[in-house]
Amino acid sequence: MKIVFVVQSLRKGGAERVVSTLSKELEKMGHDVVIVLFRDIKEYDYGGRVVSLNSPPSSLKLVKLYRFAKRVESLKKIFDEEKPDKIYSFVESSNFVSILTGYDVVVSIRNNPLKKHASWQKELIKYLYKKPNVKKVVAVSKEIEDILKSRFNLKNTTYIHNPIVFDDNYKIKEDLSNYAPFILAVGRLHPQKNFYMLINAFLDSEASKKLKLLIVGEGKDRETLEHLIEERGAKDKVFLMGRRDNIKDFYAQAKMFVLSSRYEGFPNVLAEALSFSLPCIATDCPTGPKEIIKNEENALLIESENREKMREAIDRLCFDKELRNRLKENARKSVLHLDVKNIVRKWLELY
């Protein structure tokens, strides 16, 4: 079967990682996989082959419109040549173009459209996603699917959580014992991830006398967070580790994991941390965490944007060994259903 993915690029990001993971698994299964990129950026491994439109974004309105029309034309030409059995498009900028080729497509929404999109994008979702060639609209979480039904009046919807590749024989490449014991957080340095609150809550905690906090990721909030760390005299306690390709080394050596987000689509990093049997804390933000967390059973789920609740949870997990062991015992088995083989099957069954 020939399967085509359409995505902006394969730069580091959540949707891009899912395309990378699915494409590799589908190739293993013997499918002919093609990934169409609008920008020729390949920071993830992938299965199959890549075709790039070499069509970078522009801030100029007329150039934007011209490039959009050219993307539709170029993508249709690729579909004509490849004759795919299935087309999966990821993220609105790719979805709108894919739909307008007229080919049957499955489109995937990766984040909360009420939080992420401008009004014109919301209107396009309402209009384009109802076209007959859209075979299914796939949300990344049940809560986002509910939003698509109730706020966008879309009927042809489902949800599929992001896949995990379990690596039972993973061997650590980078020794992080200089930082041990440490709490881990992973994500873009962006207000959405609310690392400012996390750093403050951690430094307020008794646990900060025993543990360090490592934040893996990069983004526009770096300067703000560096200033906070300096202001609180915590350069020996809180470390901004930047973007890292060896994220599994951090999961494998952390004492606990924290997700502090204000909102998510589906928190890949939380699911990955659970797959490493890490005791986890997550904010009950829209959308995703509560779909994989049973509070006090496989992780702690706390009120979003509440610094004091975060401090309390960090201290509980640090000092309550019985709680920590219970969460560790239940963590991995709570996300076994997200194994890539199960998730790939759900995608193949869509149409």
Backbone angles phi, psi at 234, to 5 degrees: -120, 25
Q: pLDDT tens, 9-66?
A: 999 888 999 999 999 999 999 999 999 999 999 999 999 999 999 887 777 778 888 8
Q: What does the pLDDT read at residue 241?
A: 98
Helix 92-100 and helix 119-128, axial crossing angle in degrees, nearest 10: 40
Q: Using 50, 70 and 90 to split pLDDT, how confident is the model at 175?
A: very high
Q: Using 50, 70 and 90 to split pLDDT, how confident is the model at 117?
A: confident
Q: What percent of the chain has pLDDT over 90?
A: 89
Q: pLDDT tens, 159-174?
A: 999 999 998 888 999 9
Q: pLDDT tens, 204-216?
A: 999 999 999 999 9
* Global pTM value: 0.91
Between CA 104 and CA 86 the distance in angstroms is 8
Between CA 327 and CA 278 the distance in angstroms is 8
Kindly tell me if the per-residue pLDDT of 90 is higher than 90: yes
Residue type, 246: N
Q: What does the pLDDT read at residue 64?
A: 82
Q: What does the pLDDT read at residue 107?
A: 98
Between CA 163 and CA 342 the distance in angstroms is 8
Q: Using 50, 70 and 90 to split pLDDT, how confident is the model at 149?
A: very high
Higher-confidence residue: 259 or 118?
Answer: 259
Between CA 73 and CA 62 the distance in angstroms is 17
Is the CB of residue 4 less than 8 Å from the CB of residue 23?
no
Q: Using 50, 70 and 90 to split pLDDT, how confident is the model at 79?
A: very high
Q: Using 50, 70 and 90 to split pLDDT, how confident is the model at 114?
A: confident
Cis preceding-peptide flag for 287 (omega within 30 of 0): yes
Kindly tell me if the per-residue pLDDT of 116 is higher than 80: no
Kindly tell me if the per-residue pLDDT of 261 is higher than 90: yes
Mean pLDDT of 143-155: 95
Written as one string, the DSSP assignment of 101-166 is T-S-EEEEE-S-HHHH--HHHHHHHHHHTTSTTEEEEEESSHHHHHHHHHHH---SEEE-PPPB--
Mean pLDDT of the chain: 96
Enumerate domains of the chain plus CATH numbers: 2-160 (3.40.50.2000), 182-337 (3.40.50.2000)
* Pick from 222, 219, 217, 195: nearest CA to 310: 195
Higher-confidence residue: 101 or 119?
Answer: 101
Cis preceding-peptide flag for 181 (omega within 30 of 0): yes
